[in-house]
């Protein structure tokens, strides 16, 4: 593992406001994505911090059956529920499919957080905050969506993000070659501390050992790191999609619609585990 790379990149907006100013908006655009920052008097509107942990009541069927429950609650980071869209079916493609629906989990958040990872991170980061960790460490590929979402969400809730990215050896030896494109740009923009390993090191030592190596270094510096596995896929993270199945069930009941198959992409397995457990019970 190389030393952490942390090029200084930041986009900052600042304003000096008199006490008489009640409301202000700052908008900035990055690659046609516009974000708004609102400044209001706390007494004007009830807004909670993204770092606020909310109680989470596990489904009744899970009580007494699942032991690794999210006792520290969850954060509210995603835009939920995500919509379900009915799509036309190309009969020439499959004569066995009568109706096709898409659960739009690409709409869980903006480009910096969107996708399935944020559902897991709501539980994982709540666990980290309640256990009083001050930083998170996770691992993934050079352009990992999970690492990008973790870095951004961690900053939102006041945790320092450390990313271990799997890259070619020449990029390990020369930080400049890592570049500033795609998810790496987002990683750098939120000030993630970037560590690197080669595919060979990843294969020889495994992701858990690499995570522990960085965590040990941080502990030696007085930090209290919270390790998050590849894809956020562990017992706590899987609750994101156990809960997503409950969300889906409620939407289908309102729409009075039945489905007989669920199809999804599978990578690190956390989404698959959550859907499978949730679907078996509901």
Distance CA 39, CA 194 (A): 31
User: Which pLDDT does position 2 carry in this prediction?
Assistant: 44
> 54-58, 72-76, 89-93, 142-146: which range is least confident on average?
89-93
Active-site entry in 43, 144, 207, 268:
144
What is the per-residue pLDDT across 81-134, written as a single tens digit (0 to 9) for each? 999 999 887 755 566 778 889 999 999 998 889 899 999 999 999 999 999 999
What is the structure's pLDDT at 21?
40
Percent of all residues in the chain with a pLDDT value above 90, rounded to a whole number: 65
Tell which wins on pLDDT, 4 or 273: 273
Structure tokens belonging to residue 223: 């930090």
Strand-pair category, 135-141 with 160-166: parallel
The yes-or-no answer on residue 8 being catalytic is no
Specify the DSSP class assigned to residue 178.
G
Window from 10-14, 110-114, 162-166 with minimum mean pLDDT: 10-14
Integer angstrom CA distances of residue 189 from 131, 161, 168, 194, 201: 27, 12, 22, 12, 27
Q: Whole-structure pTM over 0.75, yes or no?
A: yes
First to last CA, the chain: 44
| Residue 159 pLDDT > 80 | yes
Spatial distance between the Cα atoms of 242 and 277, rounded to a whole number of angstroms: 7
User: What pLDDT does 60 receive?
Assistant: 85
């Amino acid at each position: 593992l190389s030393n952490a790379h942390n090029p200084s990149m930041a986009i900052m907006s600042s304003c000096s406001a008199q006490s008489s100013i009640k409301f202000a908006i700052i908008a900035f655009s990055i690659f046609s994505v516009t974000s708004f920052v609102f400044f209001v008097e706390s007494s004007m509107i009830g807004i909670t911090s993204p770092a606020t942990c909310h109680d989470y009541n596990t489904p009744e069927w899970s009580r007494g059956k699942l032991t690794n429950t999210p006792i520290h609650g969850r954060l509210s980071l995603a835009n939920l529920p995500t919509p379900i869209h009915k799509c036309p079916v190309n009969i020439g493609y499959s004569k066995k499919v009568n109706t096709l629906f898409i659960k739009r989990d690409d709409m869980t958040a903006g480009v910096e957080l969107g996708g399935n990872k944020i559902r897991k991170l709501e539980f994982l980061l709540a666990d980290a905050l309640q256990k009083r960790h001050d930083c998170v460490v996770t691992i993934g590929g050079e352009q990992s969506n999970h690492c990008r979402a973790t870095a951004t969400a961690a900053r939102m809730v006041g945790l320092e993000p450390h990313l271990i990215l799997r890259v070619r050896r020449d990029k390990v030896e020369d930080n400049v070659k890592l570049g500033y494109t795609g998810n790496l740009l987002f990683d750098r923009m939120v000030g993630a501390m970037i560590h690197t390993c080669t595919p060979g090191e990843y294969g020889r030592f495994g992701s858990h050992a690499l995570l522990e190596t960085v965590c040990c270094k941080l502990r030696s510096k007085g930090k209290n790191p919270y390790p998050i596995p590849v894809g956020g896929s562990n017992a706590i993270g899987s609750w994101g999609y156990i809960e997503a199945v409950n969300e889906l069930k409620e939407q289908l009941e309102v729409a009075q619609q039945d489905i007989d198959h669920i199809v999804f992409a599978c990578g690190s397995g956390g989404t698959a585990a959550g859907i499978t457990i949730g679907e078996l019970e509901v």
